[in-house]
Amino acid sequence: MSDEIIFYHNPMSRARMVHWMLEEVGAPYRMEHVDLQKGEQKQPAFLAVNPMGKLPAIVHQGTVVTETGAICAYLADAFPAAELAPRWDEPIRGSYLRWMFFGAACVDGALIDRMLARPVPATTSALGYGRYEDLIDTLEKAITPGPYILQDRFSAADVYLGSQINFGMISKTLEPRAAFQNYVNLLVQRPAYKRFQAQREQLLAQMKAAG
pLDDT for residue 100? 98
CB neighbour list of residue 82: distance below 8 Å, 6 or more residues apart:
24, 25, 26, 76
Please report whether residue 125 resides in a domain.
yes
Range of the domain at 55: 5-83
Residue 54: its H or E element = none
CA–CA separation, 76 and 94 (whole Å): 15
List, run by run, the mean pLDDT of 10-residue segments along the chain (211 residues): 88 96 97 96 97 98 97 98 97 98 94 90 76 94 96 98 97 96 98 97 90 70
Same domain, 72 and 143: no
CATH code assigned at 36: 3.40.30.10
Compute the 3-state secondary structure of the chain and give helix, strand, coil in percent, each to the nearest 5: 55, 10, 35
- CA distance linking residue 205 with residue 178, whole number of Å: 32
Q: What is the reported pLDDT for 127?
A: 81
| Confidence (pLDDT) at 125 | 74
CATH (domain of 180)? 1.20.1050
Whether 62 and 98 map to the same domain: the answer is no
Omega before residue 147 within 30° of 0, cis: yes
The per-residue b/e assignment along 120-130, b for 16 or more CB within 10 angstroms, e otherwise, is: eeeeeeebebe
The radius of gyration of the chain from alpha carbons, rounded to an integer in Å, stands at 17
The domain tally of the chain equals: 2
pTM of the model as a whole: 0.95
- The C-alpha atoms of residue 197 and residue 184 are separated, in whole angstroms, by 14
Does residue 161 share a domain with residue 103? Answer: yes
Same domain flag for 52 and 100: no
